[in-house]
Amino acid sequence: MITKPQLIALDADDTLWANQPHFDQAEADLKAFLAQYGTPTELDEALRQVQIENLPLLGYGAKGFTLSMIEVAIKLTEGQVTGAAIQQIIDQGKKLLRFPIELLDGVEEVLDALTPQYSLMLLTKGDLLDQESKLARSGIGAYFSHVEIVSEKNEAAYQKILDRYGLQPAEFLMIGNSLKSDILPVAALGGQAIYIPYHTTWHIEQVTPPDTGIQYLQLDSLRDCLPLLLSE
* Mean pLDDT for the stretch of residues 26-55: 94
Q: At residue 218, does pLDDT exceed 60?
A: yes
How far is CA 202 from each of CA 11, 89, 105, 166, 222, rounded to the nearest angstrom? 15, 19, 20, 32, 20
Cβ neighbours around 172 below 10 Å, total: 24
* Mean pLDDT for the stretch of residues 165-169: 98
pTM of the model as a whole = 0.94
Residue 203, classified by CB atoms within 10 Å of its CB into exposed (0-12), middle (13-18) or buried (19+), is exposed
Instruction: Compute the Cα dihedral for 74, 125, 108, 139 and give only its sign.
Output: negative
- In percent, the amount of the chain with pLDDT more than 70 equals 99
The 10s digit of each residue's pLDDT in 183-211 is: 999 999 999 999 999 999 988 888 888 77
84 CB contacts (<8 Å, ≥6 apart)? none
Per-chain mean pLDDT for the chain: 95
Q: At residue 65, does pLDDT exceed 60?
A: yes
Q: At residue 164, does pLDDT exceed 90?
A: yes
* Mean pLDDT for the stretch of residues 115-140: 97
For residue 125, the cross-strand partners are: 150
